[in-house]
Amino acid sequence: MSQNDTMFPQLDSDLLRSFLAVAKAGSVSAGAARLLRTQSAVSLQVQKLEEIVAQQLFDRHGRGVSLTARGEQLLPIARQVVEALDQVVIAMRGPDDKSEIRFGMPEEYSDTLLPSILSGFSQEQPGARILVRCGASVEFPVALAAGDLDIALHAPENVTADDTVVHREAAIWAGSAFHEIEHRRPLPVALFDRACWWRERCLDLLQKAGVDYEIVCTSESVAGVRAAISAGIAVGVLPQSAFTDRVRRLSDVTLPQLGETVLVLTRSAAAPNCLADSLAAIVSKTVRAVESTA
């Protein structure tokens, strides 16, 4: 045993995963729901991590938690470590080029659903390799049709006969829990900056409702839109699962109704049936488990 082993306690990757989940969700309870664990268990893991690094990583407040300066310093390191460990599992499990499946999913679920999906797939298909592509939902139908992906979890504008619905939830106008800007006109709005059908739907509905608005922030990700909302510089549209304690549902009746967002699984015609069946079952089970704890 080296001298360093006796001087410093060792970090467990589970502690870093708990830290990342709480940091993203903005509260221990929401982070625990994302990890499918109890709030007390995740709280203890965060405390243990803070003891190991001898630093306070979160500021606790009535509505949740926020990262301290030390927490912000740890955040990119924790992401690198967890991503590296996940890639090691993927690399070591894959024996040959034929036993693989290419899976696409929205980037906003990369640190919530993806770890459980990868874990479940590696246990059920230890001789297979899974190649993961995280991006925007709008990219995946084209990638499936071109044969670049075998199966994808995504949120289409319209559900087709080839899609298997795994989750439905309301799309909600959201604002900061600490600011009231929804009555400003023009209404400051945060939206996605990609060719996203949700962006076009929101703008179309705002125009039809006669709401004077201006786009003050755009982002490629849900996290970026949510950050603008949390900061109180804009309102925006989020699925219920993307809410944190720093975000609240807006009740302004002048804002148009948005309907729901639907998550579906879609396969390409050339997808390997056995692996696709296994992965589809794991994805559906993971999404249902997260839904039941929300």
- Look at 241 and 187; give whichever has higher pLDDT: 187
* Nearest residue to 101 (alpha-carbon basis) of 38, 44, 151: 151
Q: Does residue 16 carry a pLDDT above 80?
A: yes
Sign of the CA dihedral running 78, 79, 81, 82: positive
104-108, 254-258, 288-292: range with lowest mean pLDDT: 288-292
Give ∠ CA 68-73-19 in degrees, rounded to 5.
70
Give the confidence band of 96 by pLDDT, cuts at 50, 70, 90: very low
How would you label 99-123 residue by residue, b for 16+ Cβ within 10 Å and e otherwise? ebbbbbbbbbbbbbbbbbbbebbbe
- Look at 137 and 5; give whichever has higher pLDDT: 137
Rounded to the nearest integer, the mean pLDDT of the chain is 86
DSSP character at residue 193: -
Give the confidence band of 90 by pLDDT, cuts at 50, 70, 90: low
- Look at 118 and 290; give whichever has higher pLDDT: 118
Q: Does residue 39 carry a pLDDT above 70?
A: yes
Q: Does residue 3 carry a pLDDT above 80?
A: no
**Tokens found for residue 16:** 């870093």
Give the confidence band of 51 by pLDDT, cuts at 50, 70, 90: very high
**Residue 89: per-residue pLDDT:** 73
Q: Does residue 4 carry a pLDDT above 60?
A: no
pLDDT in tens, 263-281: 999 999 889 888 999 999 9
Give the confidence band of 214 by pLDDT, cuts at 50, 70, 90: very high
34-38, 114-118, 149-153: range with lowest mean pLDDT: 34-38
Percent of the chain with pLDDT strictly greater than 90: 43
**Residue 137: per-residue pLDDT:** 85
**Residue 233: per-residue pLDDT:** 96
Phi then psi dihedrals of residue 153, to 5 deg: -100, 120
Percent of the chain with pLDDT strictly greater than 70: 92
